[in-house]
Amino acid sequence: MTGNGRPVGSGSDKAVRDLRSDPAIAVVAPCELSGALRRGRVLVVDDEPMIAQAVRRLLLPEHDVEAPASAAQALAMLADGARFDVIVLDVIMPRLSGPEFYERLVHVDADQANRVVFVSGGAVEPKTVAFLASVDNPKLDKPVSLDALRDVVNGFVARGNSAPAS
Reported as a single tens digit per residue, the pLDDT across 128-161 is: 999 999 999 999 998 889 899 999 999 999 987 6
Q: What is the pLDDT of residue 104?
A: 97
Indicate the pTM of the whole model: 0.75
DSSP assignment letter at 96:
S
Q: What is the pLDDT of residue 37?
A: 67
Query: What is the side-by-side strand order in the sheet with 64-66?
Result: 64-66, 41-45, 86-90, 116-120, 139-141
Give the 3-state secondary structure of residue 2: coil
Helix axes 126-134, 98-108, angle to 10 degrees: 40
Low-confidence ranges of the chain (pLDDT < 70): 1-37, 123, 161-166
Q: What domains does the chain contain, in order, with CATH numbers? A: 38-159 (3.40.50.2300)
Q: For 1-97, where are the alpha helices, taking DSSP H only? A: 30-33, 49-59, 71-79
Q: What is the pLDDT of residue 15?
A: 42
Q: What is the pLDDT of residue 121?
A: 82
